[in-house]
Amino acid sequence: MKKNNCICIFTLMLILYVPANIFAQKKAKVATLLIDNQRIATTRIELKQENTSLLKAYLQLIEEADKMLLEGPFSVTAKTKLPPSGNKHDYASYSRYWWPDPNKADGLPYLRRDGETYPGSQSLEASDRQRIGALAESSETLGLAFYLSGEQKYAQKVAQLLRVWFLNTATRMNPNLNHAQCRPGRNTGSKSGVLDGRLLIIAFEASLLIGDSSALSEEEKQGLRNWAEAYLEWLTESELALQEAASKNNHGSYYDLQLIYFALFTGKTDLAQKVAQNFYHNRVLKQIQADGSMPEEIARTRPLFYSIFNLHALFLFAHLAEKVGVDIWKANDDSSRLKVGLDFLAPYTNPELTWPYPTIKEVNRMELFQLLLLADSVYPNENYLDYATHLPKEKLNVDRAKLAFPLMR
């Protein structure tokens, strides 16, 4: 009897929290690039059909979205210290693992302490890193909330965030990362800073999530495409960006991920296909060993974190490569490097299993959940979701990947 009462309560809550106009939207699928549009469309249908297994994740999403309606907008022009260019519209950030030299009065040049974040690198006065993070988190949350609820207030807020960051003359970011991850006393921007650009993908995905609303005008949508084209040009022509392209670890993976995403977003499918055709050889085979390990990531002070982080980029790229007919997954090949890479990491969903390499900090093993979800759809006979049973149930119940995946990290 108690069980039936709980089901009735959950059903009532679902009816109350999923507005009726969610189902008045014209298109069943949204034109997202990274987020699986079939999966998220199915989620919306399942919410309508009162699928209570999604309820907690949905309510958590809406709760977070409602808070974000009151935050922002965010702009690179909000920093009070000018970047090295002297132009407040240029994005600036500071390398988190570089610290002042304690033996120097001015601390210069900064010294590297891998895996340890220098608090000053997160300064709001000088760095835009927290602002671009807030832009990404808010736009994703609000965009998903709009698509799944149909509530226009969420789409309107996403539009405001995008206008201020990308479009408005007084507040827009210039489409470059010339001064990302500066290292005081060493440079005014490093190739590693291109990694910050992965967060831009989240904002552009949000623009697609609200595509069927009237929140953005056609002129504004074209403005976003123009910005993306300019940023893609910077990615492919800037000396700094090309140095990052030569990186042999997760930085190289995320560079290519940005490249294929913005090529697809701007309709440059030839470029997307070219990048995709070289990816398996240039990235996957060179980064993942036959046993599934990733030496470049294992060499770090947080090897499990960076191994998951890199595999996430490789999985997302493989997902996008499907759109231009390139198979990175190699699902029918038992020696698929993506598969063996996950086989190497998946057992560590079990908190009782100790990571065998030295590490300075514990990792959030929930980060493996999205990889398991993607793998379940690509390698359906391998039962990868069985590994998820080791993850904390209370966290799984509210994880937004249950509603939509894949999502950028």
Q: Using one digit for the tens of pLDDT, what is the confidence trace for 324-368?
A: 999 999 999 989 999 999 999 999 999 999 999 999 999 999 999
pLDDT at residue 8 in the model: 43
Span 387-406, mean pLDDT?
Answer: 97
Whether residue 1 has pLDDT greater than 70: no
pTM of the model as a whole: 0.93
- In three-state secondary structure terms, 208 is helix
Show which of 243, 268, 303 is a domain's final residue.
243
**51: confidence class by pLDDT, cuts 50, 70, 90:** confident
Q: Are residues 178 and 308 in the same domain?
A: no
Q: How far apart are CA 330 and CA 385, in angstroms?
A: 19
Does residue 395 belong to any structural domain of this protein? yes
Write out the H or E segment, with its range, that includes residue 312. helix 303-321
pLDDT at residue 328 in the model: 98
Full domain range(s) for residue 302: 247-409
Show which of 213, 243, 273 is a domain's final residue.
243
- In 105-155, the DSSP E strands lie at 111-112
Contact between 84 and 189 under an 8 Å Cβ cutoff? The reply is yes
Q: Are residues 264 and 165 in the same domain?
A: no
Q: Are residues 331 and 289 in the same domain?
A: yes
Question: Of all residues in the chain, what percent carry a pLDDT higher than 70?
Answer: 93
Contact between 345 and 292 under an 8 Å Cβ cutoff? The reply is yes
Q: Is 364 exposed, middle or buried (0-12, 13-18, 19+ CB in 10 A)?
A: exposed
Q: What is the pLDDT of residues 188-226, one digit of tens each?
A: 999 999 999 999 999 999 999 999 999 999 999 999 999
Q: Are residues 124 and 210 in the same domain?
A: yes
- Dihedral of CA 116/120/123/128: which sign? negative
- In three-state secondary structure terms, 269 is helix
Q: Are residues 233 and 325 in the same domain?
A: no
Q: Can you give the CATH number for the domain in which 78 is found?
A: 1.50.10.100
Q: Are residues 233 and 262 in the same domain?
A: no
The DSSP line for 351-394 is: TTSPPSS--SS---GGGGHHHHHHHHHHSGGG-GGGGGGGS-HH
Q: What is the pLDDT of residues 245-277, one digit of tens each?
A: 999 999 999 999 999 999 999 999 999 999 999
Whether residue 12 has pLDDT greater than 50: no
Does residue 33 belong to any structural domain of this protein? no
Does residue 18 belong to any structural domain of this protein? no
Does residue 27 belong to any structural domain of this protein? no
Q: What is the pLDDT of residues 126-162, one digit of tens each?
A: 999 999 999 999 999 999 999 999 999 999 999 999 9
Does residue 396 belong to any structural domain of this protein? yes
Q: Are residues 354 and 388 in the same domain?
A: yes
Show which of 198, 219, 243 is a domain's final residue.
243
pLDDT at residue 19 in the model: 53
pLDDT at residue 238 in the model: 98
Residue entry with tokens 């149909």: 150
Q: What is the pLDDT of residues 271-315, one digit of tens each?
A: 999 999 999 999 999 999 999 999 999 999 999 999 999 999 999
Does residue 346 belong to any structural domain of this protein? yes
Q: What total number of domains does the chain contain?
A: 2
Does residue 25 belong to any structural domain of this protein? no
Lowest mean pLDDT among 2-16, 201-215, 390-404: 2-16
**22: confidence class by pLDDT, cuts 50, 70, 90:** very low
Q: Are residues 220 and 368 in the same domain?
A: no
- How high is the mean pLDDT of the chain? 93
**187: confidence class by pLDDT, cuts 50, 70, 90:** very high
Q: Are residues 69 and 147 in the same domain?
A: yes
Q: Are residues 109 and 178 in the same domain?
A: yes
Which residues partner with 144 through β-bridges?
A: none
Q: Are residues 306 and 276 in the same domain?
A: yes
Q: Are residues 343 and 365 in the same domain?
A: yes
Span 40-54, mean pLDDT?
Answer: 94
Within 10 angstroms of residue 199's Cβ, the number of other Cβ atoms is: 20
Does residue 26 belong to any structural domain of this protein? no
